[in-house]
């Protein structure tokens, strides 16, 4: 079809493993803040610098891929959590993962600013992806009767962002947990309970 972009071929299994290891190493390095070198990221991943450049031709490409990968992992967790737990418990676990994601994002702030300065937009679909995951959790909870049906996903995202900003640092995670429990109490308040029959 004219003008269409062919979908990229899937990576070979070994290439995919290398890419996954590079992303994991980059998350560790970049979330600490500071200026991690690409060489140190490649070394931590157990690959050569050439392998890193084959997957990510620039530092900005690597940072953007790390950010998008972390966002995808968080959003993809919602339906998986719903398969293994009641919706209210799945929501609470997902909230903890959101705080982890925000902590990683905060550690990558300088690197993400460099991506934006170079013309990239790693945040293009973040809000839609996050509200989509929250919507799925809320809808499942409303259907089960464990979460109120009138909660707005955008409001929940704003509340979660506030908790992350106020208490997302590792030394304040106990407080973050208490705040998330309060938010869950609000989401459960007025929920009808499981349907009869």
pLDDT in tens, 180-196: 999 999 999 989 888 77
- Per-residue pLDDT tens digits for 93-117: 999 999 999 988 888 888 888 888 8
Residue 72 · residue 126 · CB < 8 Å: no
Percent of the chain with pLDDT over 70: 92
- Per-residue pLDDT tens digits for 49-105: 999 999 999 988 999 999 999 999 999 999 999 999 999 999 999 999 999 999 888
Q: For position 110, what pLDDT does the model report? A: 81
Domains of the chain and any CATH numbers: 12-57 (1.10.10), 59-188 (1.10.357.10)
Long-range contacts (CB closer than 8 Å, 24 or more residues apart) made by 175-184: 176/99, 177/96, 180/92, 180/95, 180/96, 180/99, 181/92, 183/95, 183/156, 183/159, 184/88, 184/91, 184/92, 184/95
């Amino acid at each position: 079809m004219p003008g269409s972009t062919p979908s990229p071929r899937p990576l070979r299994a070994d290439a995919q493993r290398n890419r996954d290891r590079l992303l994991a190493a980059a998350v560790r390095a970049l979330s600490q803040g500071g200026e991690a070198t690409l060489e140190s990221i490649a070394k931590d991943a157990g690959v050569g610098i050439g392998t890193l450049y084959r997957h990510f031709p620039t530092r900005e490409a690597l940072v953007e891929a790390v950010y998008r990968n972390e966002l995808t992992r968080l959003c993809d967790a919602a339906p998986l959590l719903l398969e293994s737990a009641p919706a209210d418990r799945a929501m609470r676990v997902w909230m903890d993962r959101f705080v982890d994601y925000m902590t990683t994002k905060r550690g990558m702030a300088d690197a993400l600013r460099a991506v934006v300065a170079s013309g990239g937009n790693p945040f293009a679909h973040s809000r839609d992806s996050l509200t989509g995951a929250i919507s799925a959790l809320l809808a499942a909870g409303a259907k089960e009767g464990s979460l109120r049906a009138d909660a707005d996903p955008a409001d929940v995202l704003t509340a979660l962002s506030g908790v992350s900003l106020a208490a997302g640092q590792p030394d304040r995670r106990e407080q973050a947990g208490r705040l998330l429990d309060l938010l869950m109490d609000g989401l459960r308040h007025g929920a009808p309970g499981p349907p009869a029959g």
